[in-house]
Amino acid sequence: MKRSDLPAELRLILSCLRLTPTETEVRQIEELSRAKIDWPDFLRWVDRHRVAPLVYRNLRRYGGRGVPAAAMSALRARFESNALRSLVNATELVRLDKLFRENGIIWFPLKGSVLALQVYGNLARRHAGDIDLLVAPGQVELADRLLQAGYRRAMPAFQLSPSQRRRFLSRRPHFEYLDDQSNLRIELHWRSIHNQPPHVMDLAGLRSLAASVAVAGAMLPAMSFSDNVLYLCSHGGKHFWHRLFWLVDLAEMMRGNPGIDWPRLLTLAREAGLMRPLALGVILAHELLDVPLPEAIRTYALQDRLLSYSAKEAYRFMLCLQPETPPLALSLQLYLCRLRCANSFTERLNIIQNILLWEDWDTARLPDSLFFLYYILRLPFWLQRKLCGNRLRMDRYNKTSRNND
């Protein structure tokens, strides 16, 4: 994809997505701000990609009189709201750290406040979404009980039978929790990478290489650079990079570490089964955010025929106005892309089984002895949701559309 093919609103946003814009980007911000911009549409794209902090910061500095006062006021409101949410998230993260340690739970933070301080040096410069926590599989039950004492479990929102719980823990990566008053959201993970076995980037390995970051007066563990890059690429790749702010995280990490040992990083990615997600993330950051393309990634890209196919689907999803509820045709293409790009038969089987999980368990409550019927009912239920719309899911996403990570 060429940036020149994108709408002017998106091109202006892309020019703002750097902590310290280059002279070329400053000129682009100045010129595009004076161009014919649909400012309400511009704000929708800002919300869509969760990039208000950097866009506000750079438009305020370089946009000049080209930005209408109403648009700048709206961006400022988003920036201030996000800054407040960042502080609330950081405070809650510290409280959860104390709660877990008091109950003997070993945990690790993913993304969020820790990443904001690592990469941007300031909580308010990154979109504040969910609070993501990683615990060992054997401590999920205790952590789940502790979180449900203060939060409502929103996914799955119903009581799991023993059989459902075993299948959920073996195939899904996390539970979701919501505080209806504060709108705080927590994801409790027991594997860091979706569709990968628990030993890939497991809790013990992450903690053994972790640094420490001061968050709201507490010292919390933080991912090493290599683990951070691999995790960001796996997370972004899982979602087809449909939020630009994930790509900005990766781009800023690469800019802040110009001496990266790419052959070694590719070796780690190969061992973890993350070669394609790593290459895809770096290539998208290169094409959209002007990050230099490492020669090792370029060489790999020439050998992987599925990489350009994955990139095309990522661009299509990135430009989808409603990523939580994409059109049926795009949903099917994304499933097909996941299946084609899987590294093994086991990974393909996991993808298929994940499609057959949990959404129907509350629609039709069956005893464990009849669990096999869910596989038969899955297709008609899935088609009904796609064709008629899933109101419950839409309500959940609409309620927290600005806070999800």
- State pLDDT tens for residues 137-173: 999 999 999 999 999 999 988 888 888 888 888 878 8
Radius of gyration of the chain, Cα coordinates, nearest whole angstrom: 21
Q: Select the more confidently predicted residue: 377 or 28.
A: 28
Domain topology for 86-223: Beta Polymerase; domain 2 (3.30.460)
> Closest by alpha carbon to 186, among 195, 194, 177?
177
pLDDT at 400: 46
Return mean pLDDT, the chain: 87
Q: How far apart are CA 1 and CA 312, in angstroms?
A: 8
pLDDT tens, residue by residue, 183-212: 999 999 998 887 666 667 788 888 888 889
Q: How far apart are CA 380 and CA 363, in angstroms?
A: 12
- Placement of tokens 């089987």 in the chain: 349
pLDDT tens, residue by residue, 350-391: 777 666 555 677 777 788 888 878 777 777 777 776 666 545
Mean pLDDT of 379-404: 58
Beta bridge partners of 188: 133, 175
Query: On the CB side of 67, how many CA atoms lie within 13 Å of its CA?
Result: 25
- The vertex-144 CA angle with 138 and 148, nearest 5°, equals 170
Does residue 402 carry a pLDDT above 50? no
Structure tokens at 170: 């073996």
> Closest by alpha carbon to 189, among 207, 167, 173?
173
| Pairs from 193-197 (Cβ < 8 Å, separation ≥ 24) | 193/231, 193/234, 193/235, 193/272, 193/274, 194/234, 194/238, 195/238, 195/342, 195/347, 195/350, 195/351, 195/354, 196/234, 196/272, 196/273, 196/347
- Residue 266 belongs to what H/E stretch? helix 262-272
